[in-house]
Amino acid sequence: MQPNRSNNYCCGGGGGFLQAGFKEERLEFGRIKDDQIKATGAAYVIAGCHNCHAQIHELSDHYEGHYPVVHFWTILCLALGILGPNEREYLGDDLKGVNVFHPESEM
């Protein structure tokens, strides 16, 4: 992702902005992050915090990015085989059926 690290763009959901009530402004500011994400061609976005997750998920819906947004712990738990069936809401269809830990449960 360019720019990256300390020069990366904020998604626009942090610092209380997510709950501040300025949805249109927040989404417009977030367009920069949405464009940046789309330019990578990534199939998934991994968010480190809840505010980023909620904002980027909403950006994907609003700007029709069609990229799933997951928490880091979701991918980690999936890889470890301990992600439960009720914790798969934000996974894309390609990963919802990965069923390492709960083979007897229905997805």
Per-10-residue mean pLDDT of the chain, 107 residues long, equals 91 85 94 96 93 95 96 90 87 84 54
Is residue 47 domain-resident? yes
Is residue 102 domain-resident? no
Whole-number pLDDT of residue 106:
52
Whole-number pLDDT of residue 15:
79
Whole-number pLDDT of residue 54:
94
Domain range for 84 is 11-96
Is residue 62 domain-resident? yes
Tokens for 92, please give them: 């894309």
Is residue 104 domain-resident? no
Is residue 103 domain-resident? no
Check: CB of residue 86 under 8 Å from CB of residue 61: no
Is residue 44 domain-resident? yes
Whole-number pLDDT of residue 104:
59
Which H or E run includes 69? strand 69-71
Chain-centre distance for alpha carbon 80: 20
Tokens for 11, please give them: 């998604």
Is residue 76 domain-resident? yes
Whole-number pLDDT of residue 21:
87
Name the domain count of the chain: 1
Whole-number pLDDT of residue 8:
92
Is residue 2 domain-resident? no
Distance CA 51, CA 47 (A): 9
